[in-house]
Amino acid sequence: MLQFIDEYQQQRPKATSLQIVRSLRAYTRASYANTFWEMVAGSNPDFVKGELDDQSVEIMGQSIDFAHFMAALSDQTWGGNLTSTLSDGFLWITSKVMTGHGYDSREYTAAIGDTAQPIEVYLDKYGLTTYQPETLSELLGKFASEQDYASDLVAFAVGRLLYENPSLSVKAAILEANWLNYSGTVKRYLVDMFGAKISANGVIVNGEQIRTRIYERIRAYLLIKRDVIKGSIFHRTYRQRIRPALINHATDYFTKYLQQALVQSPQPES
At 165-219, the pLDDT tens digits run: 999 999 999 999 999 999 999 999 999 999 999 999 999 999 999 999 999 889 8
- 181 lies in a domain? yes
pLDDT digits (tens, 9 = 90+) for 37-82: 666 555 556 677 767 777 889 999 999 999 999 989 988 876 556 6
- 173 lies in a domain? yes
- 269 lies in a domain? no
Please give the residue that has the higher pLDDT: either 101 or 40: 101
Total count of domains within the chain: 1
- 267 lies in a domain? no
- 148 lies in a domain? yes
Neighbours of 32 (CB within 10 A): 21
Full residue range of the structural domain in which residue 247 is found? 1-262
Nearest by Cα to 31 from 1, 7, 53: 53
Report, in angstroms and rounded to the nearest whole number, the Rg of the chain calculated over CA atoms. Answer: 18
pTM above 0.85, yes or no: yes
pLDDT higher than 80, residue 143: yes
Mean pLDDT throughout 106-110?
77
Report how far Cα 188 is from the mean position of its chain's Cα atoms: 15
Which pLDDT belongs to residue 13? 95
Contact by Cβ (8 Å): 59, 174: yes
- 270 lies in a domain? no
Please give the residue that has the higher pLDDT: either 93 or 114: 114
pLDDT higher than 60, residue 112: yes
- 178 lies in a domain? yes
- 268 lies in a domain? no
- Please give the Cα distance from 222 to 147 (Å, whole number): 22
Which pLDDT belongs to residue 192? 94
**Which H or E element spans position 57?**
strand 56-59
